[in-house]
Structure 1
Amino acid sequence: MKKLGEREIKMPKNVLITGGAGYLGTVITELLLSKGYKVCIYDNLMYDSKILIPFFSNENFSFIKGDIMDKPSLNNAIAKSDVVIHLAAIVGYFACLKNERLTKDINVSGTKNVIELMNDDQYLLFGSTGSNYGEVDGICTEETPLNPSTLYGVTKTDAERLVMNRNNSTAFRFATAFGVSPRLRMDLLVNDLVYKAMEDGFLVIYQSHAMRTFIHVKDIAECFLFSIENHDKMKNEVYNCGSNNLNYSKRDICELIKEKTDCYVHYNDYDYDKDNRDYEVSYDKLDNLGFNVSIDLAQGIDELIKVYNIMNFTDKKYKNTGYPEIY
């Protein structure tokens, strides 16, 4: 810390983002750099390296190419950091099923590596998921027993428990993300439905009554910033992160998309999705600390429509299943 007369000038905190070249990390990086933080992305560039190019013009940005399972490389990145945002993971129902061994290694053992290499003064922020709740009755709070029903949920639950056994850590159980990011994902429910509505002109929906809760990717970034800037009152706690106003059924989402794209929607409630999550979540705990989301579902759908109108998303890198098959 430097002083100029009686005025203290705080140097930017050094923030490391594991898996920072992904859907969430690129948006978080953009926000933190705009606030004067020094940001280092640690990523194996499984998907697309070109999305990082704009960041290199910022003197506060750095990049280390490395794998979460490579402890010497990871240690080099962590040693220079005040805050670690741990996002590196195999994410999503279908991506996890593609390679179960790799999923367990990355999501659980990789998290253990991060924890073992950090010292007590470094603040760990973990991107967990509402999928940890699984099949439950009633509205989920942070005290609701976890009952994950997918491999993704099981591995994230195991990783979250490792994180919360460490002092000076915070975990966020995020709602299902939506919206535009430099590394856009097409396998997320809202993003996928908007794309199919525009590309195919129709949607076929199973279990239309199923409830899910959502959050825009930019609000996820704001949540991490909020936690860094409110470290003392947020550390050593788990928070649901989303909005009480963004609990929607699949039917609700499709009707909104239909209004904006004029697509045809067929509801087939006799069959089931393989990913059959159905739950509502309370976000009162985080709301009571003063954090609120700012982007609603309609805004997110509008921006997706604009992007889809000018781009071709047939490449599998947008589906989160483009990593090598290792058995």
Structure 2
Amino acid sequence: MAEQYNILVTGGAGYLGSIMVPEMLAAGHKVTVIDNFMFQQSSLNTSCANPNFTVVNADVRNEKIMKDLVSKCDVVVPLAALVGAPLCSRDEVGTITVNRDAVLMMFKHMSKEQRVLMPITNSGYGIGEKDKYCDETSPLRPISLYGKIKVEVEEALLERENAISFRLATVFGMAPRMRIDLLVNDFCYRAVYDRAVVLFESHFKRNYIHVRDVTRVFMHSLDNFDTMRGEAYNVGLSDANLSKLELCQRIQKHLPNFVPLEAPIGEDPDKRDYIVSNDKIEGTGFMPAYSLDMGIEELIKGYTMLRNTRYTNV
């Protein structure tokens, strides 16, 4: 039987955590979530019946609370963050204090024995070289504040040695705490409801990974920690290094009436453009289970139930 851990998940009611926490509980781990529930999300409602689940409604920047929570866990999964270039640009102070300062403060209160599994981002690669794959040795040239802070935190994380960094591709798929603003999720939403999307810098490429495969790679690393520790790993679909236009063409296979329009003017605020190698994580025995097409099908089903209609009667 696999070892059981006391796991602290910060921001555990968010997009990644809303899938990950129930899976960790199902595997027999004790899970404590700290989250400030800033989006009024109810994504962990069904976990409350599990006696191994504990939830704390508080801010990860509160050192007194964090020191106490950290002292009781074997593994920390820091998910709490302001995520994405637009949100981080809008709240630079929050980005710095939550995404960096709170994480570094938490590291300070951890022993060398305690483990950290942390999502970073492969947006740290910024703009890659044409037709050249970014692997874990490629230079990090983050463009957005979000990317810059994540790269800074990864450096401190890997100095701990008892830690693993996951450089996640752009995540997609349905989750109890849904995010429609992520690229695949956004384009699918527009395909379902608008039947069109305007593309800025449509040739920009990036890599993609399903939200459930993010949970799977974290669970994989719990079971293989000793052989994986102290390293960064790209986590994405090796057959999905696609430009925004190519992504739209994949969606068109499922929704033929969807029309992507390439804009002659305008810029993408998130200026990343690169292709990624996932050979290193695959070398540990991990392979994604959810393809891009599976995710698109899932999102189309999900949007049958979900629509942003807060300020409209239709």
Same fold by TM-score, threshold 0.5 exceeded?
Answer: yes
Separation in 2 of the partners of 1:298 and 1:315?
Answer: 29
* 1:25 maps to 2:17: yes
Structure 2 partner of 1:234: 228
The CA RMSD over aligned residues, in Å, is 1.5
Q: What's 1:107 paired with?
A: 99
Residue 257 of structure 1: CA displacement? 1.4
Deviation at 1:49, TM superposition (A): 3.8
Corresponding residue for 2:112? 120
Displacement of 1:269 in angstroms is: 4.8
Quote the Cα distance in structure 1 between the aligned partners of 2:2 and 2:245: 49
Q: How does 1:1-16 map to 2 (within 5 A)?
A: 12-16=4-8
Q: Does the CA-based 8 Å contact 2:125-2:272 persist in structure 1? A: no
TM-score (normalised: structure 1): 0.91
Q: How does 1:1-327 map to 2 (within 5 A)?
A: 12-137=4-129, 138-261=132-255, 262-314=257-309
Deviations 1:231-287 (A, max 9, x none): 100111111111211211111110121222222221225542121211001011111
Q: Percent identity?
A: 37
Query: 1:159-205, CA deviations, whole angstroms, 9 ceiling, x for partnerless residues?
Result: 11111111311111000000001100011000001111112121111
Q: Tell me the distance in 1 between the aligned counterparts of 2:192 and 2:121.
A: 28
CA change 1:300–1:14 in 2 (3 A) is same
Q: Could you report, residue by residue, the CA deviation over 1:52-80 in whole angstroms, capped at 9, with x for unpaired residues?
A: 21100111111112211101111121111
SS in 2 for 1:244: coil
Q: CA deviation at 1:312?
A: 2.2
SS of residue paired to 2:171: strand
Structure-2-length-normalised TM-score: 0.94
Give the Cα–Cα distance (whole angstroms) in 1 for the partners of residues 146 and 246 of structure 2: 25
Letter in 2 for 1:217: V
**Residues 143, 11 of structure 1: CA spacing in aligned structure 2 closer, same or farther, 3 A cutoff?**
closer
**Conserved? CA contact 1:208–1:269, under 8 Å:** no
Question: Structure 2: which amino acid aligns with 1:191?
Answer: N
In 1, the alpha carbon distance for the partners of 2:249 and 2:277 equals 24
2: distance between equivalents of 1:76 and 1:82?
Answer: 13
Q: Which runs of 5 or more residues in structure 2 are unaligned? A: none
